[in-house]
Amino acid sequence: MPSPWPPTGRSARSGSCNWAIMTSPRAAGHEPAPRRPPAVPDHRVDLMRITILAVGTHGDVRPFIALSHGLQARGHEVTITTGRNFEGLIRGAGIGFSPMTADYEKLMRNSPEMVEAGNNLFKGTKLMRRLLMDMASHWAEEGRAACKDTDLIIGQGSGTVLALSLAEALKVPSVQVQFQPITPCRDIPPVMLPPMPFRLPGFLNMGLYQGLRFTIWQLFKDAINDVVRKDLGLKPVTYSELYFDDNPDRRRVLYAYSEQVVPRSRDWTAMAQVTGYWFLDEADAWTPPEDLANFLAAGDKPVYIGFGSMLTQKAEDVTRKVLTAVKETGCRAVLATGWGGLAADPALADPNVFVLKSAPHDWLFPRMAAAIHHGGAGTTAAACRAGIPSLIMPFITEQAFWSARLEEKGIAAPRLNRKTVTARDFQRGLARLLDPAMKARAEALGTKIRAENGVERAIAQLEAWNLLPNAAPQPAEDHALA
């Protein structure tokens, strides 16, 4: 999920398809466990305690597990603070966990109107304001407990201002992490607005950023000042202080995406750096259920269909439409129900469709012909890395941004409108995905992204900012799961 508080930044194939759904009991409920990090020596003079505040869905939390493993390999101690729904995943990865009132799965299930309004910026933001006020009332206490004796605070998404405020209260440095570009500039369209069919003049683009900033500030300032900062014993922060202060803690931001997808803005200062994606590699530690392996071996590569952490009140309708499109196109498919964006309907049983809840993208996507998904930052990154084309149906505005970027590169079919999408729309999109030229472009991009190491680059940048001591990673002693 994008941060409601942008960081300060100065601009300076084919076969017959008779539909059936085969659901693997093991796959349906399986939560893959990430491998543990490399073991490190017991004593290091440069050890630092780092607290990460991660607010959002799987796509927001998993990259931080990857970053944490990189930090641990250098001897640092890391704690991730997020919703309790991720506690097992984080602890299972060998990383410290501290609870925070930030369970977005529960939030979306209890407030489905938030997702249904996702592409309406102002309606969605107003709903988020109310929900955020409720969550933020716990954040100061939870944040203090998580950050006790910490040396560095890393904040992301809606937790950005909490991280900045905790750093101020505890007198420790902080840095922001974002998974989509939000620093104002003239050459990257604002993520929070629907993509336009043309490029705006730079000065208008910059004006939109500033207008969005001020609007979001008006909506969220009460949660910032009257709840978070008040509970931390800090004076209120002004709009100018938050967005235009030269304090490096309010300006440093690491963008965890690839410049192969969105080049770094020419307007940004050295305080905003693009590192490449932070991939949590789980393939080596995950064994697919036998029925999934048999399905994949039985025919041509299928198309992945899944909407990840998104939920919808129309899951059955969307599932019926997309399955009709797959049948008419004459292909095989793997359908991932995720948090509830799709539904497994036994009435549609056919041997050419396999249904699961989830599987590690780094294992599954290289075995797919293409992906139909929601456009979340994490899923988009995984599709790009695997070198497969995408068809995106956005649920919220940032996802439309990612679709537009992939469409520009010729590796995605035109995005779908979730409110008006038909089976015919899915069918046309599927036909585009199976185009050899699009597949070739996607494969070329995947080769470039696989050559990057975003985690290493991020850590190197933290060291360059003198937020971490320079420390070579220790040799791995144990990559096995306990």
pLDDT tens, 99-145?
Answer: 998 776 666 665 555 555 555 556 666 666 667 777 788 899 999 99
C-alpha to C-alpha distance for 120 and 419, rounded to whole angstroms: 12
- 352 and 237 in a common domain: no
**Same domain for 173 and 317?**
no
Residue 209: predicted pLDDT: 94
Helix, strand, or coil (residue 303): strand
Q: CB under 8 Å to 262, separation ≥6 — which residues?
A: 181, 188, 274, 405
Are both 57 and 114 inside the same structural domain? yes
398-425 mean pLDDT: 94
Note whether 301 and 314 are same-domain residues.
yes
Residue 11 lies in a domain: no
Phi, psi of 263 (to 5 degrees): -60, 150
pLDDT tens by residue, 434-481: 999 999 999 999 999 999 999 999 999 999 999 999 876 665 444 333
Q: Is the pLDDT of residue 384 over 50?
A: yes
Tell me, yes or no, whether 60 lies in a domain: yes
> For residue 381, what is the domain's CATH number?
3.40.50.2000
Grade residue 10 by pLDDT with cuts at 50, 70 and 90. Answer: very low
Residue 291, by phi and psi: left (phi above 0), alpha (psi -120 to 50) or beta? Answer: alpha
420/373 same-domain check = yes
* 122 located within any domain: yes
- pLDDT for 129 equals 67
C-alpha separations of 290 from 67, 286, 323 in Å: 32, 12, 23
Indicate whether 291 and 272 sit together in one domain: no
Same domain, 138 and 206: yes
Model pTM score: 0.86
351: confidence class by pLDDT, cuts 50, 70, 90? confident
Q: What percent of the chain has pLDDT over 70?
A: 79
Is 339 part of any domain? yes
Q: What percent of the chain has pLDDT over 90?
A: 59
- For residues 260 and 332, membership in a common domain is answered with no
How far apart are alpha carbons 75 and 69 in whole angstroms? 10
Q: Does residue 480 belong to any structural domain of this protein?
A: no
Q: What is the pLDDT of residue 106?
A: 65
Mark whether 70 and 166 lie in a shared domain.
yes
Q: Evaluate whether residue 482 is within a structural domain.
A: no
Question: With bands split at pLDDT 50, 70 and 90, how would you rate the model's confidence at 348?
Answer: low
13 vs 57, residue with greater confidence = 57
Indicate if 37 and 154 belong to the same structural domain.
yes
In this predicted model, what pLDDT tens digit does every residue of 134-183 receive, in sequence order?
778 889 999 999 999 999 999 998 889 899 999 999 999 999 999 999 99
Whether residues 185 and 101 share a domain: the answer is yes
Residues 401 and 460 in one domain: no
Asked if the structure places residue 26 within a domain, the reply is: no
Domains in the chain, number:
2
Which residues span the domain enclosing 352? 283-434
pLDDT at 122: 60
Mean of pLDDT values over 79-105: 91
Q: Which residues contact 347 (CB under 8 A, 6 or more apart)?
A: none
| 38 falls within a domain | yes
The C-alpha atoms of residue 466 and residue 341 are separated, in whole angstroms, by 43
